[in-house]
Structure formats: C-alpha cells, structure tokens
Amino acid sequence: MIFPLDYKSVGVTRTDPTGRIGGPIYFTTEYLIAQLPSGNKIYTVKSEGEGLLRKLISLELIAKGEQIKTFEEKLDSHDRTKLIESAISLCKGTVNTIIFEGMDRHTTFIQDPSLHEVMEIEIIDIAPPEPPWLDFAIRRLIKSGILGELNIRFSTKLIDLRQFEGEKVVFPCHASELKGKYLDTDTDIENNSTLVGCDISKQIFELRYPDLTYKHINMCPLKTELYLPTKPFITRCCQSKKSGTVNLNGIDGVVVHWGASEYDIVDAIRMLVRIMKGNTENREKT
C-alpha cells in the first residue's frame, strides 16, 4: 500500500510534469498528481538540493488513467482508517488507486489500499445502561476525527448483565434498572443471594450484611471472570487508582475511570497506540 503519511508531501499539477525535469519543485513534494485532459497520472518524485525549491531529478509513474478513481465526497484527510476503508470499497477491476480531496481542499491518494497497517482495539464495556458510556464516547470521538491519524479501528464487546437478572440477584446500583435487588437502595436482601458486582460492591455487601451467605459474580472486566480480552483493549473501572496501562493474559490494554471524560479517553487510547506500535517495532526487529 502507498499512502503518504502527510498530504503536504503530495503535489498537484495541471500540466505535464515530465518536461520539467531539472526544474524547481517544492521541497516537501514526494508524490505528484498530474490532472491532465487525458486523465490523471501519479508519480513518485526525486529531488535534490536545499531550501524551499529544489531540483527535480526524476519522476516515476505509479498510476494512470483507468487505474485511478477520484472519491466524490470530501473527507477528513487526517482520518486514515476512514480513507483506507473508503478506498478499498472503490478498488475493483483495473482501479487500484483512489484520490481524495479533504475538507480543507488538500489532496492525497491511496494505492493498493489494505487494512493490514490498521490496528484494532477492543472496547470492553458493561451494559446496561444503553448505550454504555465508554462505547458511546469512543463512537463520538471517532465521528469527531480526533483519533483519525492513529490508524486504528474499534470492535466492541459488551458484558450484558441482563443475563443475571432474578429475584435473588443483587446489583450494585438502581440506576441500571436491572430486574433484581439493588445494593444502594434495598434493605430486604435475602440469604443465599447472588451479588453481581465488582470488588467494591463485595466489600459494601459484607459491611451491610455480614451475617448473610452469598455467591459473588465479579463483573469487573479486569477480573476476566466474564470475558477475556482477545486483542489490545480499553475498558473502565470504578477505582481510579487502577486507571492506566494493564496487561491481561499477555494482552495490553488501558483502563479509564468509570466516569472518565472524553478527554481522558483520548489520552488513554493514544497511550495504548504507543504501546502497540512499540510492540510491533520490537517484533519486526527480532
């Protein structure tokens, strides 16, 4: 796949550039899109010298004519995952290269698009409420474009607590509206009940009902009692001291507080991406 890291390395001309060998070219230009009456052509550029304008040494044609298609909609040029996914959908038959114009009118392209370089992060969240906050917040962040340049996409694993509903089941909070008893409001908790909650819920239960026998199902994603991560992940925990990086069963992840802001979530995702990139680089070196 050829996908320039920054659109500033892509130049655009409306005249045939092959007659300009030896002439000046802007110093950042690594690729040149020629928009000609006969059709588009894309070249890789070699230049030499110093300063803003350098000497054009050579052009190598990498795509032309029917190999190239222009994406009709203007997209966020920084959202690399979105651009790759959009390019894949158009690359059929002879077409292998897609030109994009961003909302800011800057132009870039992708040749032989592939999701191989896109890293996947798993969102592990608890439901209800609907929608769960972490999953909801990340979907909003994706739409905002703030994660666009990270080359990531997300999948979601929801731990649905409705599977445990019952008359003798105790949940931490009435706000969940689950069918059962609530640790924060009910006082008629029965012996041999089942508590579905985290370690904090367990401590509160034992403080309030020291004489009751009960079964505990730990719903905390960090305990992996209900789900074991299968890929790098982000999840949340009600204990702020557990926020940060974590490794479960050899898989890297990050934890944010239960009520983390979107700002905190962005920081955590960026932290995880740095870890993922570091692991990839280390694997490539060995």
The string of pLDDT tens digits covering residues 217-253 is 999 999 989 999 999 999 999 888 999 999 998 999 9
Same domain, 93 and 135: no
Asked whether residue 214 is assigned to any structural domain, the reply reads: yes
pLDDT tens for each residue of 53-98:
999 999 999 999 999 999 999 998 889 999 999 999 999 999 999 9
∠ Cα 19 25 31 (to 5°): 85
pLDDT tens for each residue of 152-188:
999 999 999 999 999 999 999 988 889 999 999 988 9
Predicted local distance difference test score (pLDDT) of residue 103: 86
Same domain, 105 and 124: no
Give the structural domain span for 275.
118-286
Same domain, 106 and 219: no
Give the pLDDT band (50/70/90) at residue 285. Answer: very low
| Number of domains, the chain | 2
Predicted local distance difference test score (pLDDT) of residue 129: 84
Same domain, 81 and 59: yes
Asked whether residue 67 is assigned to any structural domain, the reply reads: yes
Same domain, 152 and 284: yes
Give the helix/strand (H/E) hosting 252.
Answer: strand 251-257
Distance (Å, rounded) from C-alpha 71 to C-alpha 137? 29
Asked whether residue 158 is assigned to any structural domain, the reply reads: yes
Predicted local distance difference test score (pLDDT) of residue 256: 97
Give the pLDDT band (50/70/90) at residue 195. Answer: very high
Same domain, 56 and 133: no
Question: Looking at residue 12, what DSSP letter applies?
Answer: E
- Are 155 and 122 contacting, i.e. CB atoms less than 8 angstroms apart? yes
**pLDDT for residue 281 is more than 70:** no
| For the chain, percent of residues with pLDDT exceeding 70 | 97
Asked whether residue 13 is assigned to any structural domain, the reply reads: yes
Last residue of a domain, which of 52, 85, 114?
114
- Are 153 and 81 contacting, i.e. CB atoms less than 8 angstroms apart? yes
Asked whether residue 1 is assigned to any structural domain, the reply reads: no
Q: Which of these, 191, 251, 193, lies nearest to 221 by C-alpha position?
A: 251
Same domain, 40 and 127: no
Last residue of a domain, which of 82, 99, 114?
114
Same domain, 135 and 103: no
Q: pTM here?
A: 0.83
Distance (Å, rounded) from C-alpha 63 to C-alpha 56? 19
Same domain, 132 and 273: yes
Asked whether residue 40 is assigned to any structural domain, the reply reads: yes
- Other Cβ atoms less than 10 A from the Cβ of 141: the count is 18
| For the chain, percent of residues with pLDDT exceeding 90 | 84
Alpha helices (runs of H) in the chain, residue ranges in sequence order: 80-90, 133-144, 199-208, 262-285
Q: Which two tokens stand for residue 200?
A: 């904090």
Last residue of a domain, which of 93, 114, 135?
114
Same domain, 25 and 123: no
Asked whether residue 276 is assigned to any structural domain, the reply reads: yes
Same domain, 250 and 281: yes
Same domain, 148 and 205: yes
- Other Cβ atoms less than 10 A from the Cβ of 254: the count is 23
**pLDDT for residue 283 is more than 50:** no
Asked whether residue 2 is assigned to any structural domain, the reply reads: no
Give the pLDDT band (50/70/90) at residue 280. Answer: low
